[in-house]
Amino acid sequence: MDNQIDNIHNSKNLTDKEIFSKIWTKPREVFQFINDNHYDKYVKLLLVLAGISRAFDRASMKDMGDTMSIWGILSLSIILGGLLGWISYYIYAALLSWTGQWLGGKGDTTSILRILAYAMTPAAISLLLLVPQIGIYGNEIFKSDGDITSAGLIPNILVYGSMILGIILGIWMIVLCVVGVSEVQKLSIGKSILNLFLPLLVFAIPIIIIFLIANAF
């Protein structure tokens, strides 16, 4: 308890504006403040927005535009992504807490989920980038062979510029996850990266073993 109080006193107080501005330049300082102060103010909102963003990504990867209208994709991604998407992050946080112990890490599920939520800030912002993409090409964005070149020079600059920004935001989100997990679980950057992959291996290895056994007979 005394250590927790000392951590709160030692961490610099940050305003909401500073949290969402410094997370791009001084992420460890931000994550330390969030972790030490149990700063939950935007956790639910960020998880919902991240769930919606993930749902749109899945819709694009699965070429859902081939079989669904743009309104169907929008409704499905916003409603199901917003309501159910955060559940996967909770499960992932629980697994990170578990596998992190193998590496000598700390942090319970709630603490890790809190950090992951703020690390998803780039995913939440990336939703804005869908506006020009969907506004210009609509359902074509989600098709396997969609036409995303015929709108003209200026519209294409907006569309492809937003796509490039989306990739940059995705990369920075990964960086934030690494730094955030490192801070909350008190792990080195290397161990943090390893722990982010361990939950995937926990599921993948048993499936591979079952598959190999099944093929052996």
Query: 103-122, pLDDT tens digit by residue?
Result: 999 999 999 999 999 999 99
pLDDT tens, 10-31?
557 899 999 999 999 999 999 9
- With tokens 């209208």, the residue in question is 69
> Where do we find the tokens 């694009």?
60
Is the Cβ–Cβ distance between 55 and 85 less than 8 Å? yes
Rounded to two decimals, the pTM is: 0.86
Give me the helices (H) in the chain, please: 2-10, 16-22, 27-37, 43-61, 70-102, 109-119, 121-137, 153-185, 189-216
